[in-house]
Amino acid sequence: MRYVSNPPNPWSSESVEWLGEPPEARLEVYEETETRRIITRNTSPDIGFDYSVNCYRGCTHACSYCFSRPTHEYLGFGAGTDFETKIVAKVRAPELLRAELERPSWRGDLLVFSFTSDPYLPLEVHYRLTRRCLEVCLEYRQPVSIVTKSALVRRDKDLLRELAEVADCSVHFSIPFRDREISRALEPFAAPPESRFRAMSELAEAGIPVGIGIAPVIPGLNDSDIPELLRRASEAGARTAWMTMLRLPGSVAPYFEARLRERLPTRAERILNHIREERGGKLYTSEFGARMKGTSEQWRVAERLFEVYCRKLGLNGERTMRERRNTFCRSRNQGVLFD
């Protein structure tokens, strides 16, 4: 029987796969010291931001659908269990960020903390790389947005509140499922949905703009959750909301299918058929403009449902953050001029 828990790295000439039960997985942490840049520029027209910061590679949340899994293959690891158990900490991230903010070419564009890994992995308790990077952003009045599945973000409530006072700062919680059991099946080590909503409420009460990302929407599984998720987010103080459809690039597709069949066996085939209907018979399409949306009437219904409930709950209506100009500065003396 072919074991697909960790699909082979397509960039390697050889691969080793376990037959039968694999050995017990243990977390391995690698400290990366040779990184030269920490700000990554996004070139995809489908993504709503241009620059991101990732202090870690890999993610212990183990979300079976994570589109970032193939990035681990560039390190010589696999996109399956390796992504969840072999974590790279970019220990020089705060120093690198400071150096890049000092570059004359940097103009203070929004920095998003997330994309290839959650900025608040459990390892952040020890390394504090995200917090230290946020301290640098506060010093430079650098606009920041955070996307996370972790309640650990509450630890930095004081820092985020200060940042929100001098520059744009927001925190979006990725919460795709309302049901705890479904969440545990497909994102087994992420905080349960109720914990994320509590963290959202706590940050909102502290004056930090918060929002919800219903990501990913998996046709036939959680598209019906949209109204309830938006309602709970609104009650927790969310001002904004967004959603994207499931993406299964490269090695993610076989891993997701294996996990889906293992953990939701009675629903798996139906869900996979729904996904194929959205993708012209495939589990994934890589075309810009199409890879994060569906094509069927069912997807259009989900989009309309999302829009109707956002209007009803007052999400995404008026501008949700104060408009700021020239908040970014390279020295405290310069910053005083714009107070």
* pLDDT tens-place string over residues 74-94: 999 999 999 999 999 999 999
Q: How confident is the model at residue 111 (pLDDT cuts 50, 70, 90)?
A: very high
Least confident of 185-199, 203-217, 267-281, 311-325: 311-325
One-letter identity of residue 327 = T
53-62, 177-186, 271-280, 303-312: segment of lowest average pLDDT:
271-280
In the predicted model, is pLDDT for residue 294 greater than 80?
A: no
Across 184-204, average pLDDT = 97
Report, as an integer, the average pLDDT of 290-294.
66
Q: Is pLDDT of 19 > 70?
A: no
Question: How does residue 6 score in pLDDT terms, banded at 50, 70 and 90?
Answer: low
Residue 279: per-residue pLDDT: 81
Where do we find the tokens 């293992």?
262
Structure token pair of residue 58: 């890999």
Give the pLDDT band (50/70/90) at residue 337.
Answer: very low
Average pLDDT over residues 313-323: 71
- Radius of gyration from C-alpha coordinates of the chain: 20
The edge-to-edge listing of strands for the beta sheet with 28-32 is 28-32, 86-90, 56-57
Model pLDDT for residues 135-184, shown as the tens digit of each residue: 999 999 999 999 999 999 999 999 999 999 999 999 999 999 999 999 99
Enumerate domains of the chain plus CATH numbers: 34-317 (3.20.20.70)
Among 47-51, 197-201, 330-334, the least confident range:
330-334
Q: What is the mean pLDDT of residues 270-292?
A: 79
> Angle 73-77-79 (CA atoms, 0-180°, nearest 5)?
60
Rounded-to-integer distance, Cα 73 and Cα 80, Å: 10
Q: Is residue 113's pLDDT more than 50?
A: yes
